[in-house]
């Protein structure tokens, strides 16, 4: 088995390779004068793990090219962050179901797909190969535990993230709750306070994705007003668009942390161990057939 990754997932691919004790394949990435992408890889094997987060159009095309390069191999496709996954239904006439289109495109000619904290697990039904979604909630729990906070409160910014927050909190047996939010516009959110005991506590707001950071920034301001000792933010996918990191820090959040599903300067924990476990389990299952 060998591991290969797109340009946006080089670090995570290398960590996965180390975790499964496989060779990482080198790739040359470049562009033709007309903007078309070009890749050239080292030698591939009969079993390949292709790792690529879809964070922009180029990363999507690179992923398709890598999959094609590995044609003839048994391919496990790892999508640490699947862009377009949040458009999982038609909200208006004339819209595509983007999650379906992307899932179909990348799962052609692969044997298995692995996603990480995908926005809606029902998206997995659109893959043409068997697909499994894994969670790094426990890894975030380990990160919080290592901070040795006093009387931490794990908080989801809305009820949709409550189950994820609970999974994080269970790692350390911490208190967990969520806030209700009302979206006023694309980036403006009003949050109604719940009966939370935030006073003199270290609060960690957790979510699967931090995009613009508006919701979490508003929540942090409210919690500080309630007397929270300090506020942290932790997520799986750090999209952090439109100046989100600075917005969160300006709101008083002590530290903003994300995983390496999107490789950022604030990536504090890795999804590699969780992904590697699924890859190794897949090999054991295949060996028993």
CATH of residue 257? 3.40.50.2020
236 three-class SS: strand
Shared-domain flag, residues 222 and 284 = no
Range(s) of the domain holding residue 251: 137-269
For position 88, what pLDDT does the model report?
A: 75
More confident call, 188 vs 265: 265
Percent of the chain with pLDDT over 70: 91
The backbone torsions φ and ψ at residue 113, rounded to the nearest 5 degrees and listed phi first, read: -125, 140
Distance CA 236, CA 287 (A): 32
Shared-domain flag, residues 146 and 205 = yes
Shared-domain flag, residues 259 and 152 = yes
Confidence check: pLDDT of 56 > 70: yes
| Strand-pair partners of 209 | 237
State the average pLDDT over residues 251-271: 97
Distance CA 81, CA 51 (A): 10
Shared-domain flag, residues 174 and 213 = yes
State the average pLDDT over residues 11-19: 98
For position 171, what pLDDT does the model report?
A: 94
More confident call, 230 vs 94: 230
For position 41, what pLDDT does the model report?
A: 96
Confidence check: pLDDT of 58 > 90: yes
Shared-domain flag, residues 131 and 6 = yes
Count of domains observed in the chain: 2
Shared-domain flag, residues 262 and 206 = yes
For position 197, what pLDDT does the model report?
A: 75
Shared-domain flag, residues 198 and 173 = yes
C-alpha dist (Å) from residue 50 to 13, 33, 69, 253: 8, 27, 10, 35
User: Which residues have a Cβ under 8 Å from the Cβ of 249 and sit 6 or more positions away?
Assistant: 256
Active-site option among 28, 90, 132, 181? 181
Confidence check: pLDDT of 262 > 60: yes
Q: What angle do CA 103, 262, 140 make, to 5 degrees?
A: 105
Shared-domain flag, residues 69 and 185 = no
Shared-domain flag, residues 119 and 142 = no
Give the confidence band of 87 by pLDDT, cuts at 50, 70, 90.
confident
For position 198, what pLDDT does the model report?
A: 81
Q: What is the pLDDT of residues 171-216, one digit of tens each?
A: 999 999 987 766 666 666 556 446 667 888 999 999 999 999 988 9
pLDDT, the chain, mean:
91
> For the ranges 110-124, 164-178, 219-233, which has the lowest average pLDDT?
219-233
C-alpha dist (Å) from residue 146 to 119, 138, 228, 232, 269: 27, 12, 20, 13, 11
The backbone torsions φ and ψ at residue 95, rounded to the nearest 5 degrees and listed phi first, read: -90, 145
Tokens matching residue 270: 């890795």
Confidence check: pLDDT of 237 > 50: yes
Beta strand extents in the chain (DSSP E only): 2-5, 23-24, 27-31, 37-41, 47-51, 74-79, 112-116, 131-134, 153-156, 175-178, 180-183, 189-192, 202-210, 230-238, 255-259, 267-269
Shared-domain flag, residues 43 and 14 = yes
Answering whether pTM is above 0.85, one says: yes
Distance CA 276, CA 205 (A): 27
Identify whether the C-beta of residue 149 lies closer than 8 Å to the C-beta of residue 132: no
Q: What is the pLDDT of residues 273-285, one digit of tens each?
A: 999 999 988 665 5
For position 193, what pLDDT does the model report?
A: 44
User: Which residues have a Cβ under 8 Å from the Cβ of 219 and sit 6 or more positions away?
Assistant: 155, 157, 179, 191, 205
132 is known as an active-site residue: no
Q: What is the pLDDT of residues 41-52, one digit of tens each?
A: 999 999 999 999
Distance CA 82, CA 99 (A): 8
Calculate Rg over the CA atoms of the chain. 20
For position 95, what pLDDT does the model report?
A: 85
Shared-domain flag, residues 114 and 141 = no
């Amino acid at each position: 088995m060998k591991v290969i990754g797109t340009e946006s997932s080089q670090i995570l691919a290398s960590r996965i390779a180390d975790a499964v004790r496989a060779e990482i394949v080198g790739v040359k990435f470049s562009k033709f004068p007309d903007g078309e992408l070009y890749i050239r890889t080292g030698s591939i094997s009969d079993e390949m793990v292709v790792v690529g987060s879809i964070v922009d159009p180029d990363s999507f095309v690179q992923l398709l090219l890598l999959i094609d390069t590995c044609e003839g191999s048994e391919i496990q496709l790892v999508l640490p962050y699947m862009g377009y996954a949040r458009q999982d239904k038609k909200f208006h006439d004339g819209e595509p179901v983007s999650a379906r289109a992307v899932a179909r495109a990348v799962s052609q000619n692969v044997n298995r797909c692995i996603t990480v904290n995908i926005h809606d697990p029902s998206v997995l039904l659109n893959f043409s190969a068997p697909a499994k979604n894994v969670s790094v909630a426990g890894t975030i729990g380990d990160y919080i535990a290592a901070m040795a906070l006093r009387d931490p409160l794990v908080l989801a910014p809305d009820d949709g993230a409550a189950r994820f927050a609970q999974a994080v909190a269970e790692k350390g047996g911490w208190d967990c709750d969520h806030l209700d939010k009302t979206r006023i516009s694309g980036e403006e959110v009003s949050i109604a306070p719940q009966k939370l005991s935030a006073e003199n506590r270290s609060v960690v707001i957790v979510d699967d994705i931090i995009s613009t950071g508006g919701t979490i920034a508003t929540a942090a301001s409210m919690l500080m007003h309630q007397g929270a000792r300090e506020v942290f933010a932790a997520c799986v996918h750090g999209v952090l668009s439109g100046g989100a990191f600075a917005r969160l820090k300006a709101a008083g959040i002590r530290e903003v942390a994300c995983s390496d599903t999107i490789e950022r300067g604030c990536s504090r924990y890795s999804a590699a161990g969780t992904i590697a476990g699924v890859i190794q389990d897949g090999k054991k299952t295949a060996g028993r057939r």
